[in-house]
């Protein structure tokens, strides 16, 4: 799982093995250690809710994605289009845009017939 933060946008990118784990009901977990300063843990899981969610504390993030939307997205692979969710904040400028996609290069390699 790869996370990319830019301003009020968080992009979550996974590969097909991780997608299989998610679709099987497992959560994906990762951590980043910032040298000796601190570490952040990330958990990604599917939810029965219609909306994506983000919760946790500064060093432990919980990201949830709608199961139905992720399964529909998986059925369209390979595609360069990902999923986009807007998570509201207290003020309009606090909204977080959550982007989710599956590594297309991995998808194409897996679906290409063997020579």
Question: d(Cα 91, Cα 115) in Å, to the nearest integer?
Answer: 55
**Domain count along the chain:** 1
Q: Which helix (H) or strand (E) holds 43?
A: strand 38-47
Condensed to tens digits (0 to 9), the pLDDT of residues 33-55 reads 999 999 999 999 999 999 999 99
Question: d(Cα 106, Cα 69) in Å, to the nearest integer?
Answer: 20
What are the respective helix, strand and coil percentages of the chain, to the nearest 5?
25, 45, 30
- Residue 85 near residue 51, CB atoms below 8 Å: yes
Q: At residue 92, does pLDDT exceed 70?
A: yes
Q: At residue 67, does pLDDT exceed 90?
A: yes
Residue 110 — pLDDT band, cuts 50, 70, 90? Answer: low
- Domain span holding position 101: 2-111
């Amino acid at each position: 799982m790869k996370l990319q933060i830019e301003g009020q946008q968080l992009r979550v990118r996974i590969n097909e093995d991780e997608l299989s784990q998610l679709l099987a009901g497992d959560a994906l977990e990762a951590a980043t250690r910032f040298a000796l300063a601190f570490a952040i843990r990330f958990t990604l899981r599917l939810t029965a809710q219609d909306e994506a969610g983000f919760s946790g504390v500064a060093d432990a993030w919980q990201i949830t994605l709608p199961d139905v939307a992720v399964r529909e997205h998986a059925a369209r692979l390979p595609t360069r289009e990902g999923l986009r969710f807007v998570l509201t904040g207290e003020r309009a400028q606090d909204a977080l845009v959550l982007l989710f996609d599956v590594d297309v290069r991995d998808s194409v390699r897996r679906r290409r017939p063997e020579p």
